[in-house]
Amino acid sequence: MRLSGGKILMECLLEQGVDTVFGYPGGAVMPIYDALYAYSDKLRHILTAHEQGASHAADGYARSSGKVGVCFATSGPGATNLVTGIATAYMDSSPVVFITANVNEDLIGKDSFQEVDIVGISMPITKCNYLVRDVSKLADIVREAFAVARGGRPGPVLIDIPRNVSLATAEYTPLPKDEHHQSGRLGALVRRASHDLRPPEPDQGDIDQLANMIKASQKPLLICGGGVVRGRAQDEFMALANRIDAPVAITLMGGGGFPGKNPLTTGMIGMHGSQASNQACDRCDLLIAVGCRFSDRVGLRFGSFAQNAQIVQIDIDRSEINKNIQTDHHIIGDAAQVLSLLSEQFPQLDHSAWKEEVFSFPTETQYDDHSDSLTPKEALSTIARMLPERTIVATDVGQHQMWAIQHFHFSYPGQLITSGGFGTMGFGLGAAIGAKAANPDQTVLHITGDGCFRMNANEMSTEAHYNLPVITCIFNNGTLGMVRQWQALLFEERYSQTTLDRGPDFVKLAEAYGLKGKRVANVADLEAALAEAIASNTGYVIDCAIDPDERVRPMVRAGCHITEFLAD
């Protein structure tokens, strides 16, 4: 059938099983929104307050569901407002297809109204991107874009469609998703990578070699990275950890890849990692990192990282091998596949003595209890006690993020949604809304700080309008806490521009947006507010008063050795 570019795009989204799209209309994207109008019974569009909110919502949707998120925006400022969201998704390998419109082709390159080269801008922050110049190629490109976003190491992809291309018509032939890779661009890509129309297999020789290293090791340590979460390899990872009987350190992005409550868990590793994790990393003789790219927040001082160990990296992306840390061995492949093959290669092992050594160090930070004010620890344990166990937790970035991740014991992939690589303040609310849209039956908690929340609080309007209730807990200490903590420790308490002694009144703001809210300063009030939040069917903002001098501990300075704790 002959369809407009806009309608071909909608058909292609349906081919992919997309049911929810986040976005914001504008001039150049009007033909696409006009097509969406005709498909409104099949595609739910969530109109956010700002394109950035839409980008984070599509990302949160993808992270929590494991499906590809979709986000629309118009040309020029619409497209540039996505940039932070695209970069956030890229750094954390989240599969999102961003669809932007551009001005008519004859206006491109003439500094036309709302024109920007978004393909050029997004080049370093996408897996790949496309400028569609021929409507007859649109379907083929969209099919490739989705496969690329979700395939291999997932990540964002951008498709830029000039206005005239979305208006022009072409013949559209429906093609079921499982036949996409047999023809067209995707077919060429599969043949080029010499894949015989089935996923590749990990190298058996590499697996045997690692199995021998495991058998020879006395002090093995596993790192659960974001790849375990993205690859949904939690069962295979658990089986391997149990079989080796090895302690497991979890990275920020690995939260949910291995249960936080499991007796093998040493807690988070890295800059704000637990004593047990960081000490184990320093003392182990074999370090097996699964889906972990050894960012500077984990590796800290690359030259002395795991200095007594042979380092093995299991990753899907070959370019991560030897990038930050020189490894002794690596296996390339899908985490679930590699780990299940690996577990069959050796018998049940026992490392009781080594575990005893590791678990002689604390796996959790002992925060002091103050008498009068609400401490982050009290707030988080109250929240954890009152909310359902499988609550999805979205965070912003800063002290509250570290406290939340140290405190909550995530038990499944997609339960923790946080901006790890890019550290995007203002990510949380949009991401929480996206997670709620993907998981309407789950409770979604949004932990944020006053600085982060103020950045994109406008998305409360989206939360209210679409009735996507999120419980927001603001850890309000009236400062930019993490920066203040560094100023206290490294800049002799010169608190340059980190005091946020200003409005708004977040409770009134929530009410203005049609949500409920309460300010709390002690555990009893917090309990009451949480009970009300759980019972109510609207979004709820709990403004928790936190002491500005509360710190995240332990802490290792950037570039220092992993056990040189500045504050423990």
Partner 1 sequence: MSDIKRHTLAVQVANEPGVLSQVSRLFSQKGYNIESLAVGTTDTPLISRITIEVMADDAHANLLCNQLRKLLPVHSVKLLEPRQSIRRELVLIKVRAQTSEIRNEVIQIANIFRGSIIDVCAETLTLSLIGAEEKTEAVETLLREFGIIELVRTGMIALERGQYTIDENTKEKGEFNYGKHVL
- Positions that interact with partner 1 (CB under 8 A): 119-120, 123-124, 127-129, 131, 144, 147-148, 151-153, 181, 186, 189-190, 192-195, 197-200, 203, 316-319, 321-323, 332-333
Distance CA 291, CA 251 (A): 10
Nearest residue to 444 (alpha-carbon basis) of 525, 512, 545, 534 = 534
Q: Specify whether the CB–CB gap between 126 and 157 falls below 8 A.
A: yes
Q: Specify whether the CB–CB gap between 32 and 9 falls below 8 A.
A: yes
In whole angstroms, how close is the CB of 91 to partner 1 at the nearest point?
A: 14
In whole angstroms, how close is the CB of 76 to partner 1 at the nearest point?
A: 19
Nearer to partner 1, 14 or 189 (CB): 189
How far is the CA of 2 from the CAs of 30, 148, 172, 240, in angstroms? Answer: 20, 27, 6, 53
Nearer to partner 1, 122 or 487 (CB): 122
Kindly compute the dihedral angle of the four CA atoms of residues 6, 10, 16, 21, in this order, to the nearest 10 degrees: 100
User: Which tokens sit at 539?
Assistant: 């979004």
Nearer to partner 1, 127 or 243 (CB): 127
Nearer to partner 1, 43 or 83 (CB): 83
In whole angstroms, how close is the CB of 97 to partner 1 at the nearest point?
A: 13
Distance CA 426, CA 480 (A): 13
The Cα diameter of the chain in Å comes to 72
Nearer to partner 1, 152 or 548 (CB): 152
SS (H, E, C) 68-99: CEEEEECCCHHHHCCHHHHHHHHHCCCCEEEE
In whole angstroms, how close is the CB of 417 to partner 1 at the nearest point?
A: 24
In whole angstroms, how close is the CB of 321 to partner 1 at the nearest point?
A: 8
Question: 3-class DSSP state for residue 250?
Answer: strand
Nearer to partner 1, 158 or 379 (CB): 158
Distance CA 143, CA 547 (A): 51
Q: Which segments of 217-274 does DSSP mark as H helices, in order?
A: 226-230, 234-244
Nearer to partner 1, 321 or 483 (CB): 321
User: Which tokens sit at 563?
Assistant: 């056990």
In whole angstroms, how close is the CB of 302 to partner 1 at the nearest point?
A: 12
In whole angstroms, how close is the CB of 416 to partner 1 at the nearest point?
A: 24
Nearer to partner 1, 504 or 559 (CB): 559
Nearer to partner 1, 62 or 510 (CB): 62
Q: Which segments of 409-505 does DSSP mark as H helices, in order?
A: 428-438, 450-455, 460-465, 481-490
The angle formed by the CA atoms of residues 456, 460 and 466, to the nearest 5 degrees, is: 130
In whole angstroms, how close is the CB of 129 to partner 1 at the nearest point?
A: 8
Nearer to partner 1, 232 or 323 (CB): 323
Q: Which segments of 344-416 does DSSP mark as H helices, in order?
A: 352-358, 376-386, 399-407
Nearer to partner 1, 122 or 448 (CB): 122
User: Which tokens sit at 449?
Assistant: 């700080």
Distance CA 275, CA 557 (A): 14
In whole angstroms, how close is the CB of 195 to partner 1 at the nearest point?
A: 6
User: Which tokens sit at 295?
Assistant: 């960012």
Distance CA 424, CA 430 (A): 12
Nearer to partner 1, 200 or 362 (CB): 200
In whole angstroms, how close is the CB of 10 to partner 1 at the nearest point?
A: 22
Nearer to partner 1, 193 or 535 (CB): 193
Give residue 89's Cα distance to chain centre.
Answer: 7
Q: Which residues pair with 97 in a beta bridge?
A: 70, 157
Burial class (CB in 10 A: 0-12, 13-18, 19+), 218: exposed
Nearest residue to 355 (alpha-carbon basis) of 456, 219, 161 = 219
How far is the CA of 270 from the CAs of 24, 275, 327, in angstroms? Answer: 38, 10, 18
